[in-house]
Amino acid sequence: MEPTASLGVQLYSLMSLFDPFCGPVGFLNLLPDGSLMSCGDTGWGDEVARGFFVTVTLALCTLPIGLTIGLFLSLAQQAEIRSLRMAANIYTTIFRGLPELLTIFMIYFGLQIAVREAALALGYARGFDINSFVAGVIALSLVFSAYASEVLSSAFKAIPKGQYEAGYALGLRPGKTLRLIILPQLVRIALPGLGNLWMILIKDTALISVIGLGDTLRQTGIAAKVTKEAFFFYGIACLLFLGLAMASSIVFSRIETSVRRSGVNR
């Protein structure tokens, strides 16, 4: 076995130890055998749980990429140089104006065509398939970053100019002023807006199921088709998304209180 594969298997078995659905302490084990949501071969519990983890992983992979691009976008949006501002505004106009579903399709099919053409040009006989997870992360990052840049830009506007001037007066370089003085304050101001964007991101991950990623919605959809219990399984999908939203709002309010404690009162 290759080392990376075995590492993956070990990681997976480690993670399944803490699986709240079908792990050793999973609550779905409490269901009687033969019920629709039980674990193992008879029920759909483990399949749905796997989809749920794909949803969470997708959102967690998108977040750092989207935030980083969004930060650079918002820096460009308030630059004194007009070409930078224009370039950033074109980006946000496009990705905020397009339906998320269309962005996903365009990235998925467009990447596939681009990769095939590139492979043909390089002399390979056939192209490679684009992983729907990768396409999903790219598409969601584009959309997320466009929205994040707006939130961060308005947070930048809320920081008084004196903070920058104080940084320069201390002899800090612009980059250091940004990192040491502005960003810590920015996080506090932008946090509620970013929390909203995270909720929207979680809901948008459901759209990736249409390009074949086995996320919550797709797995419950398969279960619904096989068992003909569509209402039950799509209801489960909705409940899982609701649970995710509730958990996120708890985490975010925790972060907000801890951040507010360390901040200055204005």
Binding footprint of other proteins on the chain (CB under 8 A) = 76, 79, 81-88, 90, 93-94, 96-102, 105-106, 109-110, 113, 199, 203-207, 209-210, 217, 221, 224, 228-232, 234-235, 237-238, 241-242, 245-246
DSSP letter at 43 equals S
Q: How far apart are CA 31 and CA 73, in angstroms?
A: 49
Residue closer to other proteins by CB (options 14, 105) is 105
Residue closer to other proteins by CB (options 30, 121) is 121
Are 107 and 139 in contact by the 8 Å Cβ rule? The answer is yes
Token look-up 């043909």 returns: 120
Residue 119: both structure tokens together:
């492979």
- For the bound state, the minimum distance from the C-beta of residue 81 to other proteins, rounded and expressed in Å, comes to 5
Q: How far apart are CA 169 and CA 195, in angstroms?
A: 34
Q: How far apart are CA 79 and CA 262, in angstroms?
A: 29
- For the bound state, the minimum distance from the C-beta of residue 164 to other proteins, rounded and expressed in Å, comes to 16
Residue closer to other proteins by CB (options 101, 159) is 101
- For the bound state, the minimum distance from the C-beta of residue 226 to other proteins, rounded and expressed in Å, comes to 13
- For the bound state, the minimum distance from the C-beta of residue 233 to other proteins, rounded and expressed in Å, comes to 8
Are 29 and 39 in contact by the 8 Å Cβ rule? The answer is yes
Residue closer to other proteins by CB (options 126, 261) is 126
Residue closer to other proteins by CB (options 94, 180) is 94
206: Cβ–Cβ under 8 A, 6 or more apart, which residues? 55, 215, 216, 217, 237, 241
- For the bound state, the minimum distance from the C-beta of residue 124 to other proteins, rounded and expressed in Å, comes to 20
- For the bound state, the minimum distance from the C-beta of residue 203 to other proteins, rounded and expressed in Å, comes to 4
Residue 44: both structure tokens together:
């759909």
- For the bound state, the minimum distance from the C-beta of residue 11 to other proteins, rounded and expressed in Å, comes to 28
Residue closer to other proteins by CB (options 247, 259) is 247
Residue closer to other proteins by CB (options 156, 241) is 241
Helix, strand, coil percentages for the chain (3-state, nearest 5): 80, 0, 20
Q: How many CB atoms lie within 10 A of CB 170?
A: 11
* Identity of the residue numbered 106: M
